[in-house]
A = this chain, B = another copy of it.
Amino acid sequence: MSGATLTTGTHVREACRAGLLTGQTSGLAPGFAQANLVVLPADWAQDFLLFCQRNPKPCPLLDVTEPGQVAPTRAAPTGDLRTDLPRYRVWKHGELVSEPTDILAFWQDDFVSFVIGCSFTFEAALLRSGVPVRHIELGRNVPMYQTNIPCAPAGRFHGPLVVSMRPMKPADAIRAVQVTSRYPSVHGAPVHLGMPDQLGIADLARPDFGESVPFHDGELPVFWACGVTPQAAIMAARPPLVITHSPGCMFVTDLRDEELAVG
């Protein structure tokens, strides 16, 4: 399967549905927003919807389905969330039990799907603005850290804010605030910069998730709310069944990155 032909969300989703794409989506369908997926039974979905509403920076909702609905009406009306991701993860009581390429066998009529904005959109905007992004330059996963900041709890869901970190020169950090502020539905502006100890982060070289990246002289750490936050809250709650995307294997929507920009 050549990535060169997958230039739209529809192309990527059709390739997934046909079993032709089972790996990472980074770089595919440039300009189209990619998203995190969380699928929960309806009785857990209510709490999770409230958790996202109360913590919009780490949990920016692009779309939420009705129970049993397989197409996310706003994000990709022709999509099928059961088949249109390259790979899924199925968790039972907090344990990973399967990593299938579709979830037809697991589907329930009471499943509610959450399509959650992802940092790819604002990173593309940073690069277009001439702001370098270290982990992309190095081909690594972004470093992520658990903080000492609690999310607002909702029902059975609670947990700390998880942040991603990008080292930047001060002038680039200022530009990054301006650029990412335009994208509130994909984490938006940074939540912190410069003082990791204030977040309870002792050592930037030892991220809790992802990979560490080096700092150059005169760079500050800039922190954004991260989509791992809701995943961590879900795993801690150990629902009987939850399905997510497999890391890096995102749901590619019909929404243009620029459609998500305010102003």
> A residues touching B (Cβ–Cβ < 8 Å)?
170-171, 173-174, 177-178, 181, 189-195, 198, 218, 220, 263
| Closest chain B CB from A194 CB (angstroms) | 5
Closest 3 CB pairs of A and B: A177-B177, A194-B194, A170-B192
Q: In the assembly, how many copies of this chain are there?
A: 2
Contact across chains for A171 and B194 when beta carbons are under 8 A apart: no
| Closest chain B CB from A190 CB (angstroms) | 5
- Which chain B residue shows the least CB distance to A178? B181
Contact across chains for A198 and B178 when beta carbons are under 8 A apart: no
A193 contact set on B, CB distance < 8 A: 170, 173-174, 193-194, 220
Contact across chains for A194 and B178 when beta carbons are under 8 A apart: no
A181 contact set on B, CB distance < 8 A: 177-178, 181
Contact across chains for A198 and B170 when beta carbons are under 8 A apart: yes
Q: Given A170-B195, A178-B178, A198-B218, 4 more contacts at CB 8 Å?
A: A174-B177, A193-B194, A194-B220, A195-B220
- Which chain B residue shows the least CB distance to A197? B218
Contact across chains for A178 and B174 when beta carbons are under 8 A apart: no
A177 contact set on B, CB distance < 8 A: 174, 177-178, 181
- Which chain B residue shows the least CB distance to A192? B170
